């Protein structure tokens, strides 16, 4: 009996902790209206789900909900036909509503201690209500394995009543009335650069559905791969779905560029496409296919060279970027694209077909006699007008099939096609322009919605495309521009998050880049603007991360990263301050290269470094790590030059200036994406005089030079070091040649220069620029720059 009482006490405490904590309602996206109540509804073996069986879609939703409940809990909650005679008991009831004030995708949930009532006008509304129920329940409800583990952990010979109690799950009492802010709530996936299986696409759709996203933009064709089977043109997948190898790293990471030497391929059969479309429909997600035109066409041209303006040959691209070879606007091309789009339209029943229209260079068209004659014959102004003609022909064809096109905002160039919906990606300006022309708009500007961009310090993050898009910037985005009048704002259909996969080759990395930023955008798309609150969102994320864990989904914890800021002291040391988000009070660090743990020193005040050190930091809560393990670290350099002033006899470039003696501040640069933070660049020589403050012995100078030859930043050709005690008369102590023609992987090259020990107060360093990029590198003959990180003297 005592054991039983202990078990009952444990269960009661667990239930109370979940249902009475500040985290009772951790729903993402936040509902439009939620009225909290005390108490909870307990799902246990006495629970019955009631649904009108005559409504088959609703019955399927209830069955799926019951299956997930039972799989995760070990219960056996039944689904029964609605019976008006049963009005009491432990009931979850799905009740169709005829209330016309309820939005088509809206729903109501009313939870008391004996009844959980769900109302909606449509199956969509009921589906979204279920997603909310999942998030009212403990995160374990989303696990596919937890039920079996919980059953196995029950006390042996426990009674049915006790087993039921131990397997039960609480729903906090509340009343919710909810509907979306926008009708279009999208998430994009590029499978052309890197391919993802049908099995994984289904998981992607599952995660979209949980966050009430309803449009899956499937980017199926590009220069690096054609991923959809077209029966009439088999070479599109026989040739266009394969590239011989793939570039390693960023476009400019290596000089010369490095390739992995591994063939890469993949495509979806039409049966697989149908399977994905059917599965998406069960999640109330529409699939928007994208067939790129007239640019990003190399995979198609490699398959059918006659579609280009030159004979070719063409190859599927092995590197990223924008390429001059595009579709030629011949009748053969339009016939081909018509055939392709006919098969695509047959596979995808949704309203929209995305036709790309972005990043279409006009170089080939300018050189093509055919194109120039066509421009004259059609009385077009220029090649932009030719692109508009191209898009309008495709629009007319797609419209004749009963569908509508979406295009990236470049389709505005030369005049917008009459039925086109604009996807505004380069900024918000394209969306504003299109809305003012009374065209439907989907907002997806890169500075707010591109999840292949870095979400934390680029030097600490996995490889990303470039730019910086932190979680709070995504969350605080408002897709309806303030510049639009109300009548114009009505053309903003919604918002979409995009993820391009040049640097994303695995499911794990894809998820890391998506979550939780996609969750933030889901709240942007669904929740009324007045109900949004970033602090509240981050509070709910703590529980939401547990949901993602139960769904075997990776996510970024950059939200909990610790920022490091170093500054030199008057004594020549470096003082490092650590900071993190407002909810983080426990920061740990290590100075010996080890990964910080809950037992590592706790940060209480700025850390004084008296020697060069790699500092590693992490945030914790109750002894458990919050930030990504072993992620944030930074090297700080302490030498006799640290914190000392200097004179630059040659001025730095305006683009990479010196900021408050940054060459001797002890803080090394950060490198990530395409840029390098914290360096000082020169269009000619580095000529620096460091004042050590008083005469002292010196025998080594070490300079960190940036080698980034693909961007014309080279190592020096020679370095001269001289010393002085009065700052007027200098004695040479070293002249040495260096290898300005060194290419390879970009990075900071810290070159030591040693000489016979001497006494000096002033140290002068002249690093001679090579002037022009040497032969053998990517851009020989171009003007070279010299870039410097940190200067050490010892």
The answer to whether 82 and 113 are in contact (CB under 8 A) is no
Q: What is the mean pLDDT of residues 495-503?
A: 97
Structure confidence by residue, pLDDT tens digits, 716-740: 999 999 999 999 999 999 999 999 9
Quote the pLDDT of residue 171.
96
Q: Stretch 147-153: mean pLDDT, rounded?
A: 52
pLDDT given for residue 630 in this prediction: 72
User: Does the pLDDT of residue 450 top 90, yes or no?
Assistant: yes
Give the whole-angstrom CA distance, residue 491 versus residue 181: 13
Q: Regarding beta strands 242-243 and 225-226, do their DSSP bridges make them parallel or antiparallel, or are they unpaired?
A: unpaired
Please list the residue range(s) of the chain that carry CATH number 3.30.379.10. 2-178
Query: Parallel, antiparallel, or unpaired: how do β-strands 48-51 and 91-96 relate?
Result: parallel
Q: For the CA atoms of 247, 249, 252, 254, what is the dihedral angle to 10 degrees?
A: -80
- Give the model's pLDDT for residue 147: 53
How far, in Å, CA of 407 to CA of 425, rounded? 10
Over residues 761-777, the pLDDT tens digits come to 999 999 999 999 999 99
Question: Boundaries of CATH 3.20.20.80 in the chain?
Answer: 182-192+420-553, 220-415
Match domain 2-178 to its CATH number in 3.30.379.10, 3.30.1360.120, 3.90.700.10, 3.40.640.10: 3.30.379.10
pLDDT for position 21 = 46
Residue with tokens 């930074």, as numbered in its chain: 634
pLDDT of residue 13: 38
Q: Which CATH class is domain 558-636?
A: mainly beta
Strand partners for 704: 750
Q: To the nearest whole percent, how much of the chain has pLDDT over 90?
A: 86
Distance CA 776, CA 43 (A): 71
**Which of 707, 717, 711, 661 lies closest to 684, judged by CA?**
717
H-type helices in 88-140, by residue range?
Answer: 123-136
Catalytic positions, written as ranges:
359
Shortest CA distance to 132 belongs to which of 112, 538, 124, 182?
A: 124
- Grade residue 457 by pLDDT with cuts at 50, 70 and 90: confident
Evaluate if residue 152 carries a pLDDT over 70: no
CATH 2.60.40 in the chain, residue ranges: 558-636
User: Using an 8 Å Cβ cutoff, are 773 and 673 in contact?
Assistant: no
Rg of the chain's alpha carbons, rounded to an integer?
31
Looking at CATH, the fold of the domain delimited by 220-415 is given as TIM Barrel (3.20.20)
Helix (H) or strand (E) holding 473: helix 471-475
Mean pLDDT of the 320-333 span: 97
Spatial separation of the C-alpha atoms in residues 91 and 111, rounded to whole Å: 10
Mean pLDDT, residues 252-268 taken together: 96
What's the token pair of residue 564? 């490091």
Q: Which secondary structure element, helix H or strand E, spans residue 148, and what is its range? A: helix 146-152
Residue 157 binned pLDDT confidence (cut-offs 50, 70, 90):
low
**What pLDDT is stored for residue 590 in this prediction?**
95
**Which range is least confidently modeled, 200-204, 234-238, 316-320, 666-670?**
666-670
Mean of the per-residue pLDDT values of the chain: 92
Considering the four listed CATH numbers 3.40.640.10, 3.30.70.1070, 3.40.605.10, 2.60.120.1190, the one that applies to the domain covering 646-793 is 2.60.120.1190
The CA-atom distances, in angstroms, between 609 and each of 280, 344, 459, 580, 639 are 55, 62, 21, 20, 11
Determine the pLDDT at residue 765: 98
User: CA 316 to CA 253: how far, in whole Å?
Assistant: 21
Alpha helices in 681-745 (DSSP H): none
Average pLDDT of the residues in 433-442 = 96
Taking the C-alpha atoms of residue 660 and residue 646, their distance in angstroms, rounded to an integer, is 10
441: left (phi over 0), alpha (psi -120 to 50) or beta: beta
Q: Which residues in 329-363 are b (16+ Cβ under 10 Å) and which e?
A: bbeebbebbeebbebbbebbebebbbbbbbbbebe
Q: Find the mean pLDDT for residues 576-602.
A: 92
Judge contact between 75 and 164, C-beta under 8 A. Answer: yes
Stretch 439-446: mean pLDDT: 97
Question: In this predicted structure, what is the pLDDT of residue 23?
Answer: 77
Is it the case that residue 151 has pLDDT exceeding 60? no
> 209 and 285 in contact (C-beta within 8 Å)?
yes
What residues contact 616, with CB distance under 8 A and at least 6 apart?
Answer: 589, 590, 593, 594, 595, 596, 630, 632, 633
Work out the pLDDT band at 9, boundaries 50, 70, 90.
very low
More confident call, 438 vs 144: 438
**Lookup result for tokens 């929209």:** 352
Give the per-residue pLDDT at 745.
Answer: 95
Q: What is the DSSP letter of 605?
A: S
Higher-confidence position of 168 and 300? 300
Instruction: Convert the pLDDT of each residue in 174-195 to its tens digit.
Output: 999 999 999 999 999 999 999 9
Kind plus residue range of the DSSP H or E element containing 3? helix 2-20
CATH 3.20.20.80 at 182-192+420-553, yes or no: yes
User: Which of 10-14, 195-199, 681-685, 726-730 comes out lowest in average pLDDT?
Assistant: 10-14
The answer on pLDDT for 149 being more than 90 is no
290-299, 565-574, 670-679, 782-791: least confident range: 670-679
Do β-strands 747-768 and 718-724 pair in parallel, antiparallel, or remain unpaired?
antiparallel
* Interatomic CA distance for residues 647 and 509, integer angstroms: 45
Is the pLDDT reported for residue 342 higher than 80?
A: yes
Nearest in space to 513 (alpha carbons), one of 580, 570, 464, 468: 464
SS3 340: helix
Predicted local distance difference test score (pLDDT) of residue 86: 62
């Amino acid at each position: 009996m005592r054991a039983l009482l202990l078990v009952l006490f444990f269960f009661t405490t667990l239930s109370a902790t979940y249902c009475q904590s500040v985290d009772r309602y951790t729903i993402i996206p936040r509902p439009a209206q939620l009225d909290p109540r005390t108490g909870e509804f307990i799902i246990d073996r006495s629970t019955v789900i009631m649904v009108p069986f005559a409504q088959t879609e609703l019955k399927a939703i209830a069955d799926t909900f019951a299956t997930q409940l039972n799989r995760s809990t070990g219960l056996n909650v039944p689904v029964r036909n609605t019976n008006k005679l049963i009005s009491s008991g432990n009931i979850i009831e799905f009740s169709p509503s005829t209330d016309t004030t309820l939005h088509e995708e809206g729903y109501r949930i009313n939870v008391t201690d004996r009844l959980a009532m769900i109302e909606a006008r449509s199956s969509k509304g009921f589906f979204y209500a279920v997603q909310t129920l999942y998030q009212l329940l403990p995160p374990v409800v989303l696990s596919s394995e937890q039920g079996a583990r919980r059953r196995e952990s029950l006390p042996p010979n426990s009674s049915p009543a006790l087993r039921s109690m131990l397997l039960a799950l609480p729903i906090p009492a509340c009343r919710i009335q909810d509907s979306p802010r926008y009708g279009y709530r999208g998430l994009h996936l590029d499978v052309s650069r890197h391919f993802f299986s049908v099995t994984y696409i289904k998981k992607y759709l599952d995660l979209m559905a949980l966050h009430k996203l309803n449009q899956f933009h499937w980017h199926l064709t590009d220069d690096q791969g054609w991923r959809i089977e077209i029966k009439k043109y088999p070479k599109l997948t026989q040739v266009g779905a394969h590239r011989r190898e793939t570039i390693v790293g960023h476009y400019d990471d290596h000089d010369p560029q490095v390739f992995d030497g591994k063939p890469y391929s993949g495509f979806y059969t039409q049966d697989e496409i149908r399977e994905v479309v059917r599965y998406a429909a069960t999640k109330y997600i529409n699939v928007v296919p994208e067939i790129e035109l007239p640019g990003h066409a190399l995979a198609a041209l490699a398959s059918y060279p006659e579609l280009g303006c030159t004979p070719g040959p063409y190859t599927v691209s092995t590197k990223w970027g924008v390429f001059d070879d595009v579709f030629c606007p011949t009748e053969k091309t339009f016939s081909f694209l018509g055939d392709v789009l006919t098969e695509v339209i047959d596979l995808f029943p949704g309203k929209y077909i995305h036709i790309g229209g972005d990043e279409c260079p006009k170089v080939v068209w300018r050189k093509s006699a055919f194109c120039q004659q066509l421009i004259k014959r059609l009385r077009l102004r220029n090649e932009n007008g030719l692109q508009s003609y191209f898009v309008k022909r495709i629009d007319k064809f797609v419209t004749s099939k009963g569908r509508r096109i979406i295009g990236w905002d470049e389709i505005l160039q030369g005049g917008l096609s009459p039925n086109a919906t604009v996807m505004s990606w380069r900024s918000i300006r394209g969306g504003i322009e299109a809305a003012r022309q009374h065209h439907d708009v989907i907002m997806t500007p890169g500075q707010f919605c591109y999840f292949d961009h870095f979400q934390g310090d680029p030097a600490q993050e996995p490889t990303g495309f470039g730019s910086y898009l932190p979680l709070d910037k995504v969350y605080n985005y408002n897709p309806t521009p303030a510049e639009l009048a109300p009548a114009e704002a009505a053309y903003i259909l919604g918002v979409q998050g995009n993820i391009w996969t040049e640097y994303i080759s695995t499911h794990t990395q894809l998820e890391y880049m998506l979550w939780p930023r996609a969750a933030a955008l889901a709240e942007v798309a669904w929740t009324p603007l007045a109900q949004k609150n970033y602090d509240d969102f981050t509070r709910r994320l703590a529980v939401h991360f547990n949901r993602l864990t139960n769904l075997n989904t990776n996510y970024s914890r950059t939200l909990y990263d610790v920022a490091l800021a170093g500054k030199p002291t008057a004594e020549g040391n470096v003082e490092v301050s650590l900071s993190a988000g407002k909810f983080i009070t426990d920061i740990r660090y290590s100075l010996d290269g080890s990964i910080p743990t809950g037992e590592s020193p706790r940060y209480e005040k700025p850390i004084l470094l008296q020697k060069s050190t790699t500092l590693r930091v992490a945030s914790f809560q109750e002894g458990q790590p919050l930030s990504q393990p072993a992620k944030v670290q930074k090297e700080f350099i302490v030498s006799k030059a640290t914190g000392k002033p200097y004179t630059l006899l040659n001025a730095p470039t305006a683009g990479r200036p010196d900021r408050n003696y940054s060459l001797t501040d002890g803080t090394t640069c950060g490198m990530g994406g395409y840029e390098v933070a914290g360096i000082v660049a020169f269009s000619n020589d580095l000529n620096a005089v460091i004042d050590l403050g008083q005469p002292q012995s010196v025998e080594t100078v070490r300079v960190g030079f940036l080698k980034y030859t693909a961007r014309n930043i080279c190592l020096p050709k020679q370095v001269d070091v001289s010393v002085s005690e009065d700052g007027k008369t200098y004695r040479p102590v070293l002249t040495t040649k260096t290898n300005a023609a060194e290419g390879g992987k970009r990075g900071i090259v810290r070159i030591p220069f040693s000489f016979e020990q001497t006494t000096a107060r002033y140290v002068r360093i002249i690093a001679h620029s090579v002037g022009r990029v040497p032969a053998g590198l990517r851009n020989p003959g171009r003007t070279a720059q010299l870039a410097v990180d940190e200067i050490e003297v010892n």
